[in-house]
Amino acid sequence: MYQSPRHYFEKRLRLPSDPMTAAARLASSGLHADYMVYENRGTWSYAGGAAAEITLDRAGARLRQPDEVLLPWDGHPLRQVQNLLDAVRVTGWRAYGWAAFELSYAKGGDLAHIGDQRLLHLVVPHTEVRIEGGEAYLRSVDEAGLAAALDVLSAEHTERRSVPDPVDVRQAGAEAYRRAVGVAVDAINDQRLQKVIFSRVVPVERELDFVGTYLAGRRGNSPARSFLLDLGGIEATGFSPEIVVQVDPDGKVVSQPLAGTRALTGDRAEDERLREELLADPKEIYEHAISVKIACDELIGVCAPGSVGVEEFMVVKERGTVQHLASRVGGRLAAGRRAWDAFDAVFPAVTASGVPKAAAYDSIRSNESEARGLYSGAVLTVDHQGAMDAALVLRSVYRQDGRTWLRAGAGIVAHSRPERELEETCEKLGSVGRFLVPAAEPVGAGVAPMAEGARP
């Protein structure tokens, strides 16, 4: 039976607190069982609950709003996701969510390497708050949800600054990682691939306060995007160093490959020395250049002829405990192409997979200890006007099924040395591992009445 579209109730509010703290208060308030916080260039967004929900797994793509539509697997999963978003009955919708790395195996139709895990999870929120420039824009599909979010933001609040308890990131899986780098170098020298990113997992044995960790970590990092989520059974918070793809409503597309790394030590002279070393290192320059080449090739397939170009090449970007070589590749979508076509073309990021991608996938599956899941996938927003912003999930901490962990990798090419690549993973893990806040010291938050989708 046809149902009329749902409309948002809206409210604006001047905020005395900074946007990051306000978004974190909403996350820790208990208003919604599922939520996501997403920072994009000075705007913090909170998405709580679900007015509509889209999930993707090997059975197909499913929309709930609240009636359910299932599109059985047809080999074109991202096209199915777009079709379901077109069917969302929420006026002016914006969706938030994540895509697992293993979506890369399946997006071309092949299910051979996919288990029962969820590949993508998006929600059009029941309640959304966007905070920028000292003002919050609130909207909810019912007045009770709007009032509950307003109460959280209006309540007096004093943040309890928790003390992070760093975790040792050097030992877990170190020897296995050195061996894997050697295997990858041999494969590259045998011309089976040009570049591959191998990662290692660092277990976190204690319970964490994810909101507190987000606040501490964001203050200690300089990410391209940041996020905090509890969505679809996965909790994570992270400080993404790069975007996978950004699409504007007018069809402008940008991808931002980062490859090539040195530490940031906090010592100005030493950091400058490492910067100059990075800019002159043939291994790092080669690793970066082939990543930029692949990003261009991928966008050419979905962009108007002649529109793809390198808008910024091999500048140094500081990201928390590391500095990277960074470039920006841009283009304009060809006629008939949409944001999901651009996402399909570039996902997963070449800087987290390898060159060529198919050979890198085989090598990753053969040499890593477990599936990646959210690690090196994407967190993203997409809206009814055709805009998309998808950030690469790195420099993050994860919790699922009672287990908590960190994960980081390094790009391996012919001139890679196992000890240096292991050290690079340690440098990257430091962006998160030194900011972990124990659950025994939670960040305080205002208390407000529960809204739809709240925990009992």
CB 53 within 8 A of CB 39: no
Assess whether 311 carries a catalytic annotation: no
H or E element in which residue 45 lies: strand 43-48
d(CA 456, CA 442): 20
Cα 74 to Cα 100, 117, 320, 418, distances in angstroms: 19, 18, 42, 42
What are 142's two structure tokens?
């019912």
Backbone angles phi, psi at 74, to 5 degrees: -125, 10
Q: Which of 332, 296, 7 is nearest to 146 (CA)?
A: 7
Are 149 and 432 within 8 A, CB to CB?
A: no
Joined tokens for residue 30: 């208990």
Q: Give me the catalytic one of 242, 287, 424, 452.
A: 242
Number of neighbouring beta carbons within 10 Å of residue 229 = 26
What's the token pair of residue 413? 């090419």
- Phi then psi for residue 75, to 5 deg, are 90, -5
Amino acid letter, 209: D
Give the CA distances from residue 280 to residues 136, 267, 310, 319, in Å, rounded to whole numbers and listed in that order: 45, 20, 20, 19
Is-contact 189 66, C-beta < 8 A? no
Among 308, 310, 387, CA closest to 343:
387
Known catalytic residues are 242
